[in-house]
Homo-oligomer: A and B are copies of this chain.
Amino acid sequence: MTNPTSITVPDGVPFIDMVREFDAPRAEVYRAYTEPALVTQWLGPHGYAMTITEYDVRSGGSWAFSHLDPDGNSWGFHGTFHSVDPNESIVQTFEFEGMPGHVSLESVRFEDLDGRTRVVAHAAYQSVEARDAMAAGGMEKGVREGYERLDALLAVTT
């Protein structure tokens, strides 16, 4: 049975909130979020390939990657890591190069549930309109499928 994914797009405020539990220890979930060779195996929708060009997971580091969809289109994303507290939380900026100039501030917190893990993510956008555009752009499907892929990865790494 797949753990449910909660995605909230609240009216009138520029946020997207996501909560998802994983049947794996927190250190393993954190590792899957931060080691490039693991990230590329799950982040993004089914059928996408991922190339990471930079993933310097430390406070003040930068990151950049591209998704390649099944039709051969490439989608770039990049940002900075504002703060990284290993196994606890990450705060980073996020820019989708398909919407250049629109930046969001994303935080993810890893909660230890006695051997299982709850991931709590909060994204803040510069406008409600930019949030709406991101929510309308297939983000939700990509997130749910990515978490399913992460379940599968954690089943073999833990």
Contacts and interface: CB of A to CB of B under 8 A. Distances in A.
Interface stretch (A28-36, A67-75, A103-111, A141-149): A103-111
Nearest to A123: B126
A107 B125 CA distance: 12
Interface of A is mostly: strand
Q: How many copies does the complex hold?
A: 2
Nearest to A81: B80
B95 A82 contact: yes
Report, as a range, how many residues of chain A touch the other chain. 20 to 34
Given A83-B103, A93-B105, A12 B13 contact: yes
Interface of A: 12-14, 60, 62, 79-83, 91, 93, 95, 103-105, 107, 122, 124-126, 128
